[in-house]
Structure 1
Amino acid sequence: MAEMIGRYEIRGEIGRGGMATVVKGYDPQFDREVAIKILPRELLHNQMFRARFEREARVVANLEHPAIVPVYDFGEQEGQPYLVMRLMSGGSLRDRMDERGKFTIAEIVEIFDGLAPALDYAHQQGIVHRDLKPGNILFDQHGRPYLSDFGIAKLAEAGATLTGDSTIGTPAYMSPEQVRGDPDLDGRSDLYSLGIILFEMLTGRLPFEANSPTGQMMKHLTAPVPDVRDIDESLSPDVQWVIERILAKSRDERFESAQALVDELRSILRSGHVTGAFAALSTKKPPASVRRTPASTPSSLPSSPMRGKFPVWGWVVPVVVLVGFGAFWGVQKAVSGRLETPVVPTANPAVVAAASPTVLSPPSVTPTSAPSPMPTATEMAVAVDSLASPTPVPLSPTPEPSPTPSGPVIGGADKLAFVSNNDIWVMNLDGSDAEQLTSTGGSKEQLQWSPDGQDVFYITGRCVLAVNVETKAERTIFCANWSDYLGDFEISPDGSQVVITLKDGFFILPYDLSAISQITTKQRLTAADKCISYTDAPAKEAAWSRDGKQLAVVTVATQSGRQVDLAQVFDVSRCGAPPIRVDSFPGERFTMNNYSRNPTLVDFAWNGNDLFALAVNTLNNFGEIYIYNATEKKAEIKRPVGRCCYRGFEWSPDGNYFMLAFQDSRYGQGAQLYYFIYGTIDAGGNFKPIPLPAGVLTNARENPQPALRPYKP
């Protein structure tokens, strides 16, 4: 090797890689030591390698980030190209891993926290590293981490490729899509590689090992993600959940960014769930009373794959007696519809179990745009517990005598309908009197109760059907066979109107089932007596405000040349006038994990006032809960039960309680239903799921689509 290259003095070799030799150099012009990457002479005539080397210079020179090793110079001497970079005197992560073996999560977070912004920045520029590994993570003299070696990075948006092997990288750290040679690699490929590094730092071992590079590459495609707890049993299920998500075979199921991964790890640190001391989910006890419909009896439950009202299956009614004005004031603020941190008592709150049958009189509900009434002290104290005594514990003041329903009335609701195994079930809110209404199978979407509470409406295909709760008889309400799809059939809170959503838009009509049944063609819909027509965009699910003057609709919009789901809120208070849009989101309001990759809202619900619950797909069409406050124009992620995943959101008739379905992605279980005071969503309480019959909600991919029946004394 020559003593000089360009103006740089060669002072010794640092290392050799697959494509270049790195030497220590001295720059006399600036009186500093540098690192020089030189293409080996035996590869000089290989145009593929030379092109890649030169591309690194162009790519890295355009990456200006404090945590990316900067390029100082690029040149060529006697046909030999070289790249001059900052000399990183702190060694590599590979060096540290070889010395240390395993790292704590706190140490990993500290390192990844410095790298994540740099990696996300590169991805935002359309650049995929494609060879992220411990040897390409370097440290300066102060121990700060840097990303290096973008020698095989490519500009993803340009799709530029060389004629050589497209599966370039290090086998131990390659993503499944990189192994397959997929031409459309994006930043999630690097996130997978970062996940391999995470696993190795936690355990001191690679997740996928084999006797040959080919065997190792195949394991990325076919082998399940190992459980870190098999190697280090002190690690918690939360840590394993993060590993499984970042190493998902499908890139759509991974974290959306490196920063999102770091945030999850930091959240585990703060929660204290680093070790295996984290308690497992409570087991479900089937209620004593379960009635199934004979197989010959047809039945079905409304639920819509595109509906924003997706079933909320996580039955949890926390029972807390709030004592003292301070505690009452804190909860009052929390349930007022704002996303404020609730104040909850910290000293030994009394826990009161409500048994079935029990009557808890709900506050009266009058359609209004004002915040919903505060729940009474009695309602706040109610909890549904599968182990509750059959004798209700009396509370003060004692409710006035009133007609007694078969089960407890909570949040103004007395019954729950949901879908399991493609059939509709109904039960009380404490899990008692569970009964299967239908046995027809097949898709059942967009469940809702008829205004009189006697029928459960649902969508199957392009038709709306109703099943009677008492007789289990089914009948067809309406079909839109001329349309590509039927998105929703949503009745207004006062039962006077219904909105129908189709590919053509949405249409508000009087709630007259006889007249609606006559609408069998697009021409008849056009000619029908309608209050409002909106045909600017395809419409999916819909939800009414409490006073019926506004309508929230998930529409299909075009942004940056592709179709995305966009929730829009319209003023529909004037019949005959065009609807007036008053809000739309997420759009520029807020960002959602995975939305940029898969901009489809898998769940959408509205409390009828100022709070919206949304989710995009993370796993099995379940995702994280985003609560959007329309007054503050802000959104927050909520995790009342666990990290992921949620669906089936539904607010109670009085607006004070919230229902959801939770599916713990760490265990591959079906969904559990929870029902609790919304104001306690951030309290970190030990919410308990509604007890379900054995064999119900066992399909991990099924959306339960819960629908609450308003109690009518």
Structure 2
Amino acid sequence: MEIVYNKTEAEERVFVQKLVDTAWPFLNPVVGQVLGRGGQATVYADGHSEALKVIDTSVYRDPARRKDANRRGRSEIYYHQQLTAKTDTVVRLFDTASIPLSRERGQDAPMCFLLRMELLTPLDPKNLVALDPANREKAVLQIMRDVLEGLCQTEDAGIVHRDVKCGNILLRHDPATGQSRFVLSDFGLARPFHTRTDRSFFTVCGSSDHIAPEIIRRGKLIAGRSDLYSAGVMLFHLLFPENDDYFDPVGFRQKSADFPFSPEIKKLLFSLTEVSPASRPSPAVALIEVNRLLMQRDAEYFRCIRQQLLSDLAQSRQPAPELMAAMPESEATHLLRACSAALADNTHQMAEELLRGAAAQNNSGCALYYLAVLFFQNRSCRQKAAELFRLSASRGYLPACSALKGEKIDSASFLSSILLAV
């Protein structure tokens, strides 16, 4: 295939169409409009409601730059495939193709990498401008929850995304369920943990204020903490979509007296954009905080999470720890955590501690009842269980009264009766 430099848009479309026909001759894909252009790639729509990403390394005449572009293209395919197989928090990758563009051999030979992906809607912070501060904060927390879930998955996979920003967050909507979620895209800069890279490499990504300070200063990636800084800068741009200024963490802290949002969201923003990576939370800890703030602001979300946890318990499944930890502090939360601990620990030591704490904090017959049920499972502790049942009944908790009458108490009733308490 003849390499043409500085192609016009029409020539480029014809060129890509030939590549696509070569890669997938039976799909009859049609290269449509340009959806976006990046440092070394162009994304097109096609006739199958998919997006087609094209990484053409022949645009670089310098063999050294072409070699680096080839490495990035192969790396992007590798990490995207790895994450697509693992989680639904990233854009789904359907298929890929790597096509040589000349007869040359070697790592610097011209190549074209094609990625067929789901076609999704890009996140546009400007859509948040019309919202008042309370509703904007709630909408931003929903976005951050999905982004942090994705970063938890990349961290579990041993990957640093390195280009977390609004332009790389897309919205997936499922018409069948009516549910939507934001997902991560563009893994062209992704690397494994603790990779050292050329600092000048980051100047091509177009998001310099999102780059963590430790990368700029030392060229070092710190597990998920480097991506957390970028997510914090993204949080700032979502909260202030009217502000296109370069984000300066030190300067912002000095001018934050008139911050129009809640103190909790301000604290979250400050923690994510700490200059020292050791002072930032992990993606999992940040996700717990975002879920906690969302449950405080969205009664329907709290109800859904609670039902999800209860459903897991009723089926003797260990609930998601990040959701359990995010539950607001209350007697019901103590009970949920105690049931979860009982499933995870056959000795029930953690469950006992949680239930004792709930009973002491709330003077609750309900918590005492669950504590009695735990002891009832062990024949040698039946006398202690009876004492706790009597104490619970004295505080007016009706299931304890039934237990004292000799009605059956078993693990099933322990897990299912929590529905009455929460």
User: Would the aligned equivalents of 2:142 and 2:294 in 1 still touch at CA under 8 Å?
Assistant: no
Give the match for residue 92 of structure 1.
122
Give the match for residue 81 of structure 1.
112
User: Would the aligned equivalents of 1:24 and 1:33 in 2 still touch at CA under 8 Å?
Assistant: yes
Asked if 1:267 corresponds to 2:292, the answer is yes
Match of 1:42 among 56, 59, 68: 59
**SS in structure 2 opposite 1:249?**
coil
Give the match for residue 122 of structure 1.
154
In the alignment, the residues of structure 1 paired with residue 217 and residue 198 of structure 2 have an alpha-carbon distance, to the nearest angstrom, of 16
Asked if 1:193 corresponds to 2:230, the answer is yes
Q: Deviation at 1:132?
A: 0.4
Asked if 1:238 corresponds to 2:264, the answer is yes
The structure having more radius of gyration, on CA atoms, is 1
Match of 1:67 among 89, 110, 117: 89
After superposition, residues 564-603 of structure 1 pair within 5 angstroms as none
Q: Deviation at 1:106?
A: 2.2
**Cα pair distance change 1:109/1:240, threshold 3 Å:** closer
After superposition, residues 489-568 of structure 1 pair within 5 angstroms as none
Asked if 1:209 corresponds to 2:245, the answer is yes
Give the match for residue 74 of structure 2.
54
**Cα pair distance change 1:171/1:135, threshold 3 Å:** same
User: Would the aligned equivalents of 1:55 and 1:151 in 2 still touch at CA under 8 Å?
Assistant: yes
Q: Encode CA deviations 1:444-496: one digit per residue, 9 max, x unaligned.
A: xxxxxxxxxxxxxxxxxxxxxxxxxxxxxxxxxxxxxxxxxxxxxxxxxxxxx
Asked if 1:255 corresponds to 2:291, the answer is no
Q: Deviation at 1:162?
A: 6.8
**Cα pair distance change 1:176/1:139, threshold 3 Å:** same
- Give TM-score, length-normalised by structure 1: 0.34
User: Would the aligned equivalents of 1:15 and 1:21 in 2 still touch at CA under 8 Å?
Assistant: yes
Q: Give 5+ residue unaligned stretches, structure 2.
A: 1-11, 102-110, 175-179, 299-351, 365-422
Give the match for residue 38 of structure 2.
17
**SS in structure 2 opposite 1:139?**
strand
In the alignment, the residues of structure 1 paired with residue 287 and residue 122 of structure 2 have an alpha-carbon distance, to the nearest angstrom, of 20
In the alignment, the residues of structure 2 paired with residue 184 and residue 336 of structure 1 have an alpha-carbon distance, to the nearest angstrom, of 38
**Cα pair distance change 1:345/1:265, threshold 3 Å:** same
The letter of the residue matching 2:234 is I
User: Would the aligned equivalents of 1:13 and 1:24 in 2 still touch at CA under 8 Å?
Assistant: yes
Q: Encode CA deviations 1:246-268: one digit per residue, 9 max, x unaligned.
A: 111111111122x4223323434
Q: Encode CA deviations 1:133-160: one digit per residue, 9 max, x unaligned.
A: 0010011233321100010010115x37
Question: Greater relative contact order: 1 or 2 (C-alpha under 8 angstroms, separation 6 or more)?
Answer: 1
Q: Deviation at 1:269?
A: 4.7
User: Would the aligned equivalents of 2:196 and 2:219 in 1 still touch at CA under 8 Å?
Assistant: no
User: Would the aligned equivalents of 2:145 and 2:287 in 1 still touch at CA under 8 Å?
Assistant: yes
In the alignment, the residues of structure 2 paired with residue 23 and residue 167 of structure 1 have an alpha-carbon distance, to the nearest angstrom, of 24
Q: Encode CA deviations 1:7-48: one digit per residue, 9 max, x unaligned.
A: 24312211101221111134xxxxx33212112442375222
**SS in structure 1 opposite 2:88?**
coil
After superposition, residues 681-700 of structure 1 pair within 5 angstroms as none
User: Would the aligned equivalents of 2:93 and 2:117 in 1 still touch at CA under 8 Å?
Assistant: yes
Q: Deviation at 1:336?
A: 11
**SS in structure 1 opposite 2:91?**
coil
The letter of the residue matching 2:285 is A
Q: Give 5+ residue unaligned stretches, structure 1.
A: 27-31, 211-215, 274-333, 347-713
In the alignment, the residues of structure 2 paired with residue 98 and residue 336 of structure 1 have an alpha-carbon distance, to the nearest angstrom, of 45
In the alignment, the residues of structure 1 paired with residue 219 and residue 265 of structure 2 have an alpha-carbon distance, to the nearest angstrom, of 29
After superposition, residues 318-337 of structure 1 pair within 5 angstroms as none
- Give TM-score, length-normalised by structure 2: 0.55
In the alignment, the residues of structure 1 paired with residue 276 and residue 196 of structure 2 have an alpha-carbon distance, to the nearest angstrom, of 24
Query: Which has the larger strand fraction?
Result: 1
How many pairs align? 265
Q: Encode CA deviations 1:322-351: one digit per residue, 9 max, x unaligned.
A: xxxxxxxxxxxx9999332545489xxxxx
In the alignment, the residues of structure 2 paired with residue 181 and residue 86 of structure 1 have an alpha-carbon distance, to the nearest angstrom, of 34
**SS in structure 2 opposite 1:11?**
strand
Give the match for residue 253 of structure 2.
225
Match of 1:338 among 356, 364, 381: 356
Query: Which has the larger helix fraction?
Result: 2
User: Would the aligned equivalents of 1:36 and 1:82 in 2 still touch at CA under 8 Å?
Assistant: no
In the alignment, the residues of structure 2 paired with residue 164 and residue 335 of structure 1 have an alpha-carbon distance, to the nearest angstrom, of 53
Give the match for residue 540 of structure 1.
none
Q: Deviation at 1:104?
A: 2.3
Give the match for residue 131 of structure 1.
163
In the alignment, the residues of structure 2 paired with residue 151 and residue 209 of structure 1 have an alpha-carbon distance, to the nearest angstrom, of 25
